[in-house]
Structure 1
Amino acid sequence: MAVAALGTTLAVEASAEQVLLDEIIVTASKREQSLVEVPMAIAAITGDELEMRGIDTIQDLSFAVPGLTMREDGPGSYQIFLRGIANAHGGGALTSIYQDEIPMALTGYEVLPTRVLDLERVEVLKGPQGTLYGQGAVGGAIRYITKRPNTQEFSGSVQGDAYSVTDGDTGLGVTAILNMPVVENKFAMRVVADVKDGGGWQDQPEAGIEDGNGEDLSTVRVKALWTPTDSLDVLATVVKYNAEYELGQGYEQPDRTVYVPTDPGLTLKPKVWDYDLYNLEVTYDLGFAELLSSTSYAEMDLDYPFSYFGGPETIYGGTLAGYSNRNNVGNQFAQELRLVSNADGRLQWTAGIFYRDMEVDLNIPEVVTEFGPDIFLSSYYTHDTSESLSVFADMSYQITDKLNVGVGARYFEDDQTQFIEGSTGVQAGSFDSVDPRVYLSYNLSDDKNIYASAAKGFRSGGFNGFDFNGVELPDFDPESLWSYELGYKANLFENKLYFDAAVYFTEYDEMLRRGLVFIEGRGFESFVSNIGKVEVAGFETSMRWHVTDAFTFDASLAVIDAEVKEIGGTDTANIVGDPIDYVPDYSYTLGAMYNFNWSADKPGFFRLGYSYRDEMPYVDRTSFSVENIGQFSDAIGLLDARLGMTIDGIRLELYGQNLTDVNKYIDPYHAWNNANRTRPRTVGLRVSFDF
C-alpha cells in the first residue's frame, strides 16, 4: 500500500448524505500538502478512522498498514520495520517515531510508547526519510499528529469503554478531553487524560497469576498555545505516561500461559513503563519563510522482566535457560531549527539543523543462567551515550505547470560511547554520512499524479562490548541503503474514488545481523556483524471507493520480496538466498462502511474490517540446528466489526475485535520462548458525548 487515504471523516453523527471523501492534508515533507501531491508513499489515517477501526497501539497499526511489521518484547516495548528493512539487531532505530515534532525513539530498543489519543491523524512515511528525519528513518517514519488547542471555542468530550476478553478479564477505560480558550484568539489549553484498567488474558498457573497482562495505564497530555501576534505561535506540550503489567514480557504459549523455564512458579518483576515528555515549539512567520524551533526533553524509567529458553529446536536442545529483572533509565534532549519557504512561487525549500543528546543505562543486578545441570549467577550494567548533529536541506522547483523536480541532502554525525561494568575502559566511535534524495512528480491533471524518487538511508554502527578476558571485541560498521520508487496517486470520479500504487527496489548494504560466536572460557556469545548485501523489491496499492453516499469500501495490499544476495561477514547467521526476518511475502486489508439512520434523528453506522498477514520468517544459522533453520510466525487473518448510533448527542458503539478468536503466533521467535500471540476475541461497548 503506497498511500492509504483513509481520510473520510466517519463521525457517528454524520448522516448518509453528509459523509464525503475529504481531501487529506499532510505534513510529511514538513510543509502542508495534499496527499496526492506528495512525491512519496504515505499511509495517512485520520483520528476518526483510527477510533473507528479500534486502533490503539503500534501493534494494531501494524495490521492496519500492510508492509509495516514489528517485534514486541511485551507491552510498549517494540521495534518497527517497514518495507522489508527489518532486523532486530544494531543500536539505532530503523523506523523513526515522532509525536508532532518530538522524536520518540532513544535507541532501536528504547522507544517511548505512543497510544492513539486525541489525534488528527497518523502518517506512515514509507521508504528512507533520511533527508528530513535523520538516521533512524532507514525504512521510514511514523508520525502521530495530535490535535492543537483551539483559541476560539470551548469544547470537550468524555468517553467510556467496557470490554470483555475471551477466557480473560474484563477491561475498563475512560478518556476525557477539554479544550479551554483562556484568552480568546490568543491563548488556549487542551488537556487529555486517559485511564485503562484490566483486560488481561495471560496466566502463570504455577505462580498463581491469572490474567496477569492486564494493564493499569494512565496518560495525561497538556498542550498550551499562545498566539500573541498573527506571525508568532508558541506551543508547549507536557506528557505523563505510566503503565504497569503484572506479567510484562508479553510472551505466551498456545494455551495462553506464560512459561518461565528456570522455574515455572517463579514470579518475575512486573513491568512498569514511566516516561515524562516536554516540548516547546515556537513558529514565526518571516514573510518569505516560516521559522520553527522545536525543543524537547524526555525521561524514561522502565522496569521489566526477561526470560529465555533455548528450546529443542535450537542448538542447545532445551539445555539453556535464563532470566533477569531489568531496569532501563534514559533521557534525551533534542533541538531542531527549521526554515520552510512560503507556499507561493515555483521554488520551494526547507533547511534546518538538528541536535540530539541521549544517554541510556541498562542495569541488571542479577542474571540467572541455567546450562544443563549448572547454574551461573552474574550481573550486567551498561551506560550508552549518543551525541549527534545534522544539517539538512531540501528544495523543489516547478519547471512547468505539470513537472516538479526536487533534491535534498542531510549531513549527519554521531558520536557514541559505551561503558560496560567490569570492562577495561569506555568504547567510543564516531559515525557520519551524507544522505541525499532526488525526486520528481508530474501532474497528469489536478487530481492525478505520478512520481519517482531515489533516496539513501543510513544507520550508525556500534559496539560488541568486551569478551570474557576484558579484550575489546570488534565494532560493527554502519549500514546504508538506496531505495528507488515509482508511484501513482489519483482522486477519481469527482473524489468518489481514491487510488494509489507504487513499486520500489532497495539495495541494502552492510546489513547488521546477530549471530553466536564461541569465546574461549565463556562459550557462545551474541556478536553483531555486517553480513553483506540484501535486496528488497515490493509492490503496494490501496483504494477507497464511495460506492454510494452511504457505502464506502477500502482495500490495501503489500507484496514484498526480501532476500540476502551477498555475504561478506564471518560467523554470520545467514547465507545467500535466505529471506529477511520479519518480512511477510504479502499482506492486505479489506474494509466496508455503511452509514444509515435508525430513525429520523438517530444516525448510525456499521463497519466491517479484515486484515491478513502471511507468515514471517526468522533465520539464524548460528542458533538453530540444520533441520530447524527457518522459524516462522503464523499466517494471521483478523476480523473486526463496529456498530453505532447517536441518541440525543450520546454516541453508543458496540465493537468486536478478532471476532473469530484467532490464536496464533505474531512473532517467529517462539523457539526461544520469546514470542507474543494474537489478542483473544474482545467485545466491548463504548459510550461517549461531546460538549
Structure 2
Amino acid sequence: MVAGYARPLPAAHAGRATMTAERILLQMMARVARSLRAAIGATIIGASVLAGTARADQGAAQPGSGTTPAGAPAQTLEEVVVTAEKRESTVQKTPISVTAIEGTALQAQGVTDMLTLAQQVPGISFKTSGPGQTEFEMRGMTSTGGESPTVGFYLDDAVLTPAAMAQNGKTVIDPSLFDLSRVEVLRGPQGTLYGAGSMGGTIKLVTNQPNPRAFAANVEGIGSGTSGGGFNHTENVMLNVPLMQDVVALRLVGTDKRIDGWTDRVVLNPFPIEVNNSTARGNVAAAPAGAQIPRSNWEDLRGGRASLLAQPNDRFSATLGYMHQEITQNSPNTIDGPPLNQAHYQPFDVAEPFSDTFNLYTLTLKYNFDSFQLVSASADWDRQQNQTQDISEAMQFYIGGFFGPPANWPFSSTATVTEAGNTWFGLGAGTIAEDDYTRQYSEELRLTSTGSGPLQWLAGGYWAGYGATSHVYSFYPATNNGFNADFGTTNLADNHRKVDIDQYAAFGEVSYQLPKSLKATVGARYYTYHSNSVTSVSGVSANGTSAPLYGLASNSGVTPKLNLAYIPDENTTLYGTVSKGFRPGGPNSPIPSPPCPATAPTQFGPDSVWNYELGEKLRFLGGRVSIAGDVFYIDWSSVQQQVAPGCGFKFTANAGKARAYGAELEIGLVLAPGLVLSQNASYTHATNTTSVPLAGVVAGQRLLDVPQATANTNLTYRRPLAGTMSFVARLNNSYFGSIEDITFTRNTLPSYDLAGMRLGVEDKSWSASLFVDNLTDKKALLSDTGALSANIPIFNRIATNQPRTVGVDAAYKF
C-alpha cells in the first residue's frame, strides 16, 4: 500500500471491521486490567499471606456492606459513597480521580483543619500564612500571579469559590471539620459540573444532615501543649433533635478553639542597621530586645452550623442552613529568614492582627419525580477580613534606595538622628492595613436522572452575583514630624476598590452504558460573565488624590468533557478523560501614563487548561487490597500573570503558557485483621513553557509553590479489649517535596516530613486517645509570605508549622 493512501473497505465488511475494532479494544482493556491486578497482586500477596490476611477470608464482610461489628478489627476496606459527579456512587465506581475521607475517620485521625487535610491527600499543594490565609492548588495549577483561585471550594452544594478580582479572592475559609459526613477531593479540571475556578480540581465538604428519626449528640474535648508555646484547647459539640418524628429535625454544631501560639514578636532597641548601609539588617538575633511578645501568633476560632430539615414525604425535602465562623489571630504564623528563629523582629512595637468573619445562608430544595430528581441549591455568603502589617523596614529600604545614605534624606529630623536609633531616620513606625468585604449569592437548579437504565443524564443552570470591596491604606503617626512635616500628610497610600461580577452558566452531562462493560460520558458547560471595577487612590504615593479609575470585562466560552470507562465488575474500573477547565478574567484598573507606557490592557481574559488523563481503580483479595492510580498531562494556555512594565505599577495580563504532567497513587491494604495500611503519593512536573520577561517568567522554570513529590502513610492497628472496647494505635507521616517560591527574589524551600501518632481506647459511645503531632519537632518552611505593600530583599517572612504538640482527645456520643 502506498503511504498516505488507504483503500476503502467494501460495504459488506464495514460492520465486521467495526465489530473487530470493538473486540480488540475490549480485549486490550481487559488484558490491561488483568495485568495490573496480577502484577500488583503478585508483589504483595506473599507479604499479605505472611501477615495473616488469608485468615480474614472467614466471615469477612463485603466492601461497603457495613456488616463488620462496631469495634471489630478491620477485615476489608470500607467503600465510601460520594457525590463527586452530583449523583451518588462509590469511589470505586466513579471514573475520575477522587479521594474521599469520611468524617468519622477525620475525627479519629485528629484532622481538624484544612491545612492538615491537604497534607494527607495526593496532588494538593498550598501557599499559606495562617488560618483563613491559604491558597490551595492541584496538579501544578498554581494560583500565584492570577486574580482568583484555581481550586473550587464547596460546602455541600454551596459554592464558596471567590470570583476573580477580590483582594482576598484566592484564599478560602478555614472551617472546623467537626461533624462532617465526608470530604471529597476531585483532582483535575471540573469545569463541566463545578464551573469557574475548578481548573485544578475541587474540594467539597459534605456535612451530616439532620436526622428526623432519632435524637443524637456528640461532644469532644481536645487539650494539648506545644513546644515553645502554651496550652491549646478545642471544644466541639453536635446536637440532633427531631422536632416532628420522621418529618422535621434540627442539627446544631458548635466549635470553640484556642491555639496558644508558638512564635515571638521581638522589638529590638536599638534595631541593628549596618553602618553606612540603609538597605540591610544587622544581626537581629544578637541585638538587645526592648520588648518581647511571646507566643504572639495565638489563634481563636469560634463558630457553628445550624440545619433545619423538613421532609413531609418521600418525594420532597427542604433544608435551611446557616453557618457562622470567626477567626482571630494576633499575628501570622511566620518567622524571619534569616535568621529562621521562631520569631519576627521589628524596629517598633507594631502589632499585626488578622481577623476573618464568615456567614453562610443556604436553602436546598429536592423533589423526586418518577425518573429524575429536581434540586435547587441557593446560597448567600459574606466574608469580612482585616489585617495589619509593619512596613517600617520596607519604607527604610525604598527611601534609602531612592535618596541614598540617611545623611542625604530630605526629611526635617534626619540631621540629628543616628543610624542605630529607633527613630528610624525621622520616619517612625509605618503600618499598612487591609480591610476586605466580599459577598456572593448563587443559585443552581439541576435535574438528575434516577433510573437504572443504560442512559443517565444531568442538566442544570447556574447564576452567581458577586461583590467585593477592598480598602488598603498606609499611614504614619500624626505625631511624626519627620514625615508629616515634609509631606503635609500622614497618608502614604490609600486605595479603595469595588468589584461586581455576574456569572451565568448552563451545563449538562450524558452517559450511556455501552455493551461489554463500556460506559461513555459526554458533558459541556457554557459560561458567560460580566464584571466591572472602580478604583480610587490617594496619598503621597499617588501625588494627592487621583480620579476614579473604571474597568470593565466580559467573556464567554464552553468547557467540554469526554470520559470513557471500562467497568467489567465491582472491583475493576479503568477510565480515560479529556476535560477542560477555566478561571475567569476581569478588568484591569488603568495605570498612569506617563510614567507607564500606554500598553496596559483594559481587561485580562480567562486562562484555561486541557487535561488528558488515564486511571484505574482495583480491589482484590476479597476487598482487602485497593489500588487507585492515574497519570495526567495538562496544557495551560493564556496564563494570568502579574506584569510589571518598570514604572512602579503592575497589571494582570494573559501571558505565556505552562504544562504539567505526573501521576497519583493511593493504596489501601489490610495486612492482618485489625492492621490497615493506607499509602498515597503524587508526582507533578509543572513548568513554564514560554518566557515572559515583564512577569519575571523564564521558560523551563518550575511553577511556584508546586512540590514535585508528596506522600502520606497511615498505619492503623485495632485490637479488641473487654466487651466492645478496642485499643487503637495510629501512626502517620506526610512528606512534602521542595518548592520554589518568590517574594523579592526567587528561592527554594526545602522538603520536609511531618510525623504523628495516636494511642487510645474506643468503645461504641466514647473514645479517648493520647496524641503527638509533629513527632520529631520538625520546623517546616511552608511558603514565603508576600507583603501587603512591597517585598524587600533584606529578609523573607516564611510561614512555618506548629512545633511538637502533645495532647489528649476525648469524645462521647449520646
Q: Deviations over 1:440-469 (max 9, x none)?
A: 100143210100000011112223323246
The one-letter code of the counterpart of 2:554 is S
State which of 396, 402, 420 in structure 1 corresponds to 2:535: 420
Query: Is the 8 Å Cα contact of residues 14 and 603 (structure 1) preserved in structure 2?
Result: no
Distance 2:592 2:100 in 1: 49
Point out the structure with the larger helix share.
2
Q: Which residue of 2 aligns with 1:258?
A: 344
Q: Which residue of 2 aligns with 1:561?
A: 685
> Is 1:301 aligned to residue 384 of structure 2?
yes
Are residues 506 and 601 of structure 1, via their aligned partners in 2, closer, same or farther at CA, if it must alter by over 3 Å? closer
State which of 499, 510, 519 in structure 2 corresponds to 1:395: 510
Distance 2:431 2:707 in 1: 30
Shift of 1:611: 0.7
Distance 2:804 2:615 in 1: 37
Q: Which secondary structure does the structure 1 equivalent of 2:334 belong to?
A: coil
Q: Deviations over 1:117-174 (max 9, x none)?
A: 2011100000000000001101000000000111111111111111111100111111
Are residues 8 and 67 of structure 1, via their aligned partners in 2, closer, same or farther at CA, if it must alter by over 3 Å? farther
Q: Within 5 A, what are the aligned runs for 1:92-491?
A: 92-107=148-163, 108-206=169-267, 208-247=292-331, 249-253=332-336, 254-260=340-346, 263-268=347-352, 270-307=353-390, 323-366=431-474, 377-422=492-537, 423-468=547-592, 473-474=600-601, 475-491=603-619
Distance 2:400 2:643 in 1: 17
The one-letter code of the counterpart of 2:573 is N
State which of 627, 635, 651 in structure 2 corresponds to 1:507: 635
The one-letter code of the counterpart of 1:126 is R
Are residues 357 and 9 of structure 1, via their aligned partners in 2, closer, same or farther at CA, if it must alter by over 3 Å? farther
> Is 1:690 aligned to residue 813 of structure 2?
yes
Q: Which residue of 2 aligns with 1:627?
A: none
Q: Which secondary structure does the structure 1 equivalent of 2:192 belong to?
A: helix
Q: Deviations over 1:66-101 (max 9, x none)?
A: 210111133212211001111322222210000000
Query: Is the 8 Å Cα contact of residues 551 and 588 (structure 2) preserved in structure 1?
Result: no
Shift of 1:58: 1.7
Distance 1:75 1:9 in 2: 38
Distance 1:600 1:339 in 2: 48
Distance 1:457 1:181 in 2: 42
Q: Give the TM-score taking structure 2 as reference length.
A: 0.78
Q: Which secondary structure does the structure 2 equivalent of 1:503 belong to?
A: strand
Q: Which residue of 1 aligns with 2:757?
A: 641
Query: Is the 8 Å Cα contact of residues 755 and 775 (structure 2) preserved in structure 1?
Result: yes
Are residues 323 and 257 of structure 1, via their aligned partners in 2, closer, same or farther at CA, if it must alter by over 3 Å? same
Are residues 112 and 601 of structure 1, via their aligned partners in 2, closer, same or farther at CA, if it must alter by over 3 Å? closer
Shift of 1:593: 0.4
Aligned pair count? 666
Distance 1:56 1:419 in 2: 39
Point out the structure with the larger strand share.
1
Shift of 1:601: 5.0
Distance 1:573 1:308 in 2: 24
Q: Which secondary structure does the structure 2 equivalent of 1:50 belong to?
A: helix
Query: Is the 8 Å Cα contact of residues 574 and 619 (structure 1) preserved in structure 2?
Result: no
The one-letter code of the counterpart of 1:245 is Q
Shift of 1:307: 4.9
Query: Is the 8 Å Cα contact of residues 13 and 646 (structure 1) preserved in structure 2?
Result: no
Distance 2:624 2:161 in 1: 38
Distance 1:109 1:255 in 2: 29
Q: Which secondary structure does the structure 1 equivalent of 2:344 belong to?
A: coil
Quote the sequence identity (%).
25
Query: Is the 8 Å Cα contact of residues 687 and 703 (structure 2) preserved in structure 1?
Result: yes
Query: Is the 8 Å Cα contact of residues 707 and 737 (structure 2) preserved in structure 1?
Result: yes
Are residues 308 and 121 of structure 1, via their aligned partners in 2, closer, same or farther at CA, if it must alter by over 3 Å? farther
Distance 1:515 1:681 in 2: 41
Q: Which secondary structure does the structure 2 equivalent of 1:49 belong to?
A: helix
Query: Is the 8 Å Cα contact of residues 87 and 582 (structure 1) preserved in structure 2?
Result: no
Query: Is the 8 Å Cα contact of residues 128 and 457 (structure 1) preserved in structure 2?
Result: yes
Gap runs ≥5 in structure 2: 1-62, 164-168, 268-290, 404-428, 478-482, 538-546, 787-792
Distance 2:755 2:100 in 1: 21
Q: Which secondary structure does the structure 2 equivalent of 1:48 belong to?
A: helix
The one-letter code of the counterpart of 2:620 is L
Q: Deviations over 1:624-646 (max 9, x none)?
A: 3xxxxx41122110001111113
Q: Which secondary structure does the structure 1 equivalent of 2:174 belong to?
A: coil
Distance 1:163 1:557 in 2: 30
Q: Which residue of 1 aligns with 2:738?
A: 615
Query: Is the 8 Å Cα contact of residues 90 and 462 (structure 1) preserved in structure 2?
Result: no
Gap runs ≥5 in structure 1: 1-6, 625-629
Distance 1:511 1:654 in 2: 47
The one-letter code of the counterpart of 1:400 is P
Distance 1:237 1:502 in 2: 37
Shift of 1:322: 6.8
User: Which range moved further: 296-305 or 635-644?
Assistant: 296-305
Shift of 1:570: 5.4
Q: Give the TM-score taking structure 1 as reference length.
A: 0.91
Q: Which secondary structure does the structure 1 equivalent of 2:690 belong to?
A: strand
Query: Is the 8 Å Cα contact of residues 105 and 112 (structure 1) preserved in structure 2?
Result: no
Distance 2:610 2:226 in 1: 44
Query: Is the 8 Å Cα contact of residues 143 and 170 (structure 2) preserved in structure 1?
Result: no
Query: Is the 8 Å Cα contact of residues 444 and 450 (structure 1) preserved in structure 2?
Result: no
